[in-house]
Amino acid sequence: MATKSKKVAVVKSEINETAEDVMALAAGTMEDGLTEISAGTQTLVAAREVRQVGRAAQTAGAVGVTHGVDQMIVADRLAALSEVVGAAGELDVAQGIDALATSEDIHVQSAVVAAASGAALARAMELAAIAGQLQVASDIVSAREMPVLAAFLQDKGNLLRVFAVDSVMRAGAAQALSQAMAVTGAQVSDFGANEVAEGLVRMAVAEAGAQRSDELAVEGALNAARGMEDLAVAEGARRVAHELEREGIKQVAAGTEAVGQAEAMGVVAETLHEAAQ
């Protein structure tokens, strides 16, 4: 009877030791499981942060690419507009130069007409002088009782007087024409100078526009390139976040499984303890 009791005591002792071993294993498994769950949680948090970075990069990339493309479109349009303005400026300058040349021609012609007017006036005065001389000669011949010759001289004097008056009128008209041509030449000269000035301004604006177009094209290309880099970063972040999420879920699942196993071991250990009582 004593031997049987001794054997029972040994069995209970072995059961208690097994229960302790199972309890210790359950505690270690529980610790490992909680550690794995904690690591998995941290991995999932890191995945969320990476996704946030990816979303920010995605937004920045989309904005950069859109802005860059818009800048390059504006650069193309500005370049085309600059070409049109530059061509208009060159045309204005050419028209202005032609107007200045025409103005110079008008001034020359005005001077020629003025010179002709002066010559015509001088000739009219000569005719008037001759007409007066013939009138005096006619009076002298008439006094000497030569009526036919006197009448002839008087007729020729009157005719020369008419010619002189007509020449004076023509000289006055030519002088007025010369003055009008001078005024017209000055107006054409002003028009030409204004056209040249406007053309130069348009050409300067066109050059500035072309330069700004080049700058916008470069800025647009750089912004688009940076946007593409951001989009590449966003894609990389998405992949990394996906891998981290898979790893985190795997870690949490493994930790949860370990905790479940530890709890089951704890139940087994308690059962063994109860059986050893």
Tens of pLDDT along 94-108? 777 776 677 666 666
Q: How far apart are CA 249 and CA 259, in angstroms?
A: 15
6 lies in a domain? no
197 lies in a domain? yes
pLDDT for res 1: 46
Q: How far apart are CA 277 and CA 208, in angstroms?
A: 100
Tens of pLDDT along 5-16? 555 555 566 666
44 lies in a domain? yes
Share of the chain above pLDDT 70, in %: 57
The single-letter DSSP state of residue 277 is: -
pLDDT for res 6: 54
Q: CA nearest 164: which of 131, 135, 139?
A: 131
Whether the per-residue pLDDT at 83 is higher than 50: the answer is yes
250 lies in a domain? yes
pLDDT for res 273: 65
251 lies in a domain? yes
pLDDT for res 61: 85
Tens of pLDDT along 32-67? 888 888 888 898 888 898 889 888 888 888 888 888
pLDDT for res 196: 73
pLDDT for res 169: 62
Q: What is the CATH number for 77?
A: 1.10.287.950
In the chain, where do the E strands start and end? none
5 lies in a domain? no
47 class by beta-carbon count within 10 Å (0-12 exposed, 13-18 middle, 19+ buried): buried
pLDDT for res 265: 78
Chain centre to alpha carbon of residue 133: 85
Residue range 264-276: average pLDDT?
A: 71
Q: CA nearest 189: which of 87, 85, 89, 108?
A: 108
What DSSP line would sit under 86-111, residue for residue?
HHHHHHHHHHHHHHHHHHHHHHHHHH
Query: Is-contact 259 110, C-beta < 8 A?
Result: no
268 lies in a domain? yes
Identity of the highest mean pLDDT range in 150-164, 177-191, 256-270: 256-270
Residue 244 lies in domain = 11-275
Query: Is-contact 72 220, C-beta < 8 A?
Result: yes
- The tally of domains found in the chain comes to 1
3 lies in a domain? no
Structure-block tokens of residue 70: 């818009």
pTM exceeds cut of 0.75: no
